[in-house]
A and B are shown apart, each in its own frame.
Chain A
Amino acid sequence: QVQLQESGPGLVKPSQTLSLTCTVSGGAINSGNYQWTWIRQPPGKGLEWIGYIYYTGSTYYNPSLMSRVTISVDTSKNQFSLNLNSVTAADTATYYCARRGYTDGFEYWGQGALVPVSS
């Protein structure tokens, strides 16, 4: 059973960079052409797709965040990561990592990491 777990700092200051890592267990991150994805949810609001990466390093990003987002992968550690720079309070959210399967749908999710942006 594939499991995902987000990790990172619990608080980020405005204008700084938010960095999160997703550790994958129960399967190799390079075992197939899956889309390793980041999704976020501001408190009390809906889901927002951030972007995804293939194990080869190819990435696709939400156009509204593209100028500030970088997703990377480390196959040796079975991890992929999210960097979001120049954050503001509007970036306060629970950040989820997820895997999209071959046939569609985000089938596996991490438990989520709440990241407040505050001075």
Chain B
Amino acid sequence: QSALTQPASVSGSPGQSITVSCTGTGTDVGGYNYVSWYQQLPGEAPKLIIYAVNNRPSGVSNRFSGSKSGNTASLTISGLQDGDEADYYCSSYTSSRTYVFGPGTKVTVL
């Protein structure tokens, strides 16, 4: 199974909005509404921030939002804060009943 595609890095100034893309195929991202996003701070386990394309778990800031168009899903972080500096991973269910992750995107707050 092929990994999903994400930009290696995205940066923005405090208060700005940034978007991280996650591109797959019709057998994963494009075929199912089972795309999730994870935030990983240095030295910590990943944390679920978006599930089923555009849903936030309880306790996750509403500054995080998700969407999908065709084979590309997106994570938007609005009102960027210093604490948002982290690695972000997307994941998708696949037609093989398996899961695949993207390579991760390092978000930097300038």
Contact = CB atoms under 8 A, between A and B. Distances in A.
Given A107-B57, A109-B46, A62 B1 contact: yes
B42 to A, nearest CB: 11
By size class, the interface of chain B is 20 to 34
Contacts of A109: 45-47
Given A105-B57, A106-B36, A106-B91, A46 B104 contact: yes
A106 B1 contact: no
Contacts of A107: 48, 51, 57
Contact of A46 (B36, B55, B102): B102
A31 interface: no
Interface of B: 1, 3, 33-36, 38, 45-48, 50-52, 55, 57, 89, 91, 93, 96-104
